[in-house]
Amino acid sequence: MIFLDSDIIIDFLRRYPPAISWLESLEDENLALSGYVAMELMQGCNNKIELQQIRKLIANFEVVWATSETCNQALEVFAEYKLSHSLGLIDALIGQTSISLGVPLHTFNVKHYAVIPKLTTVQPYKRL
* DSSP one-letter code for 121: E
The partner residues of 3 in beta bridges, in order of sequence, read: 32, 105
In a domain, 63, yes or no: yes
Q: What is the pLDDT of residue 128?
A: 76
CATH no. for residue 80? Answer: 3.40.50.1010
- Alpha-carbon distances, residue 48 vs 5, 51, 71 (angstroms): 23, 5, 31
Handedness of CA 15, 21, 25, 31 (dihedral sign): negative
Helix (H) or strand (E) holding 3: strand 2-4
Number of domains composing the chain? 1
pTM, two decimals, is: 0.92
Q: What is the pLDDT of residue 27?
A: 82
In a domain, 34, yes or no: yes
**pLDDT of the chain, 128 residues: tens digit per residue:** 999 999 999 999 999 999 999 999 998 899 999 999 999 999 999 999 999 999 999 999 999 999 999 999 999 999 999 999 999 999 999 999 999 999 999 999 999 999 999 999 999 999 87
- Alpha-carbon distances, residue 120 vs 53, 92, 100 (angstroms): 30, 13, 12
Helix (H) or strand (E) holding 34: strand 31-34
Tell me which residue of 88, 121, 91 sits closest to 106, measured CA to CA: 121
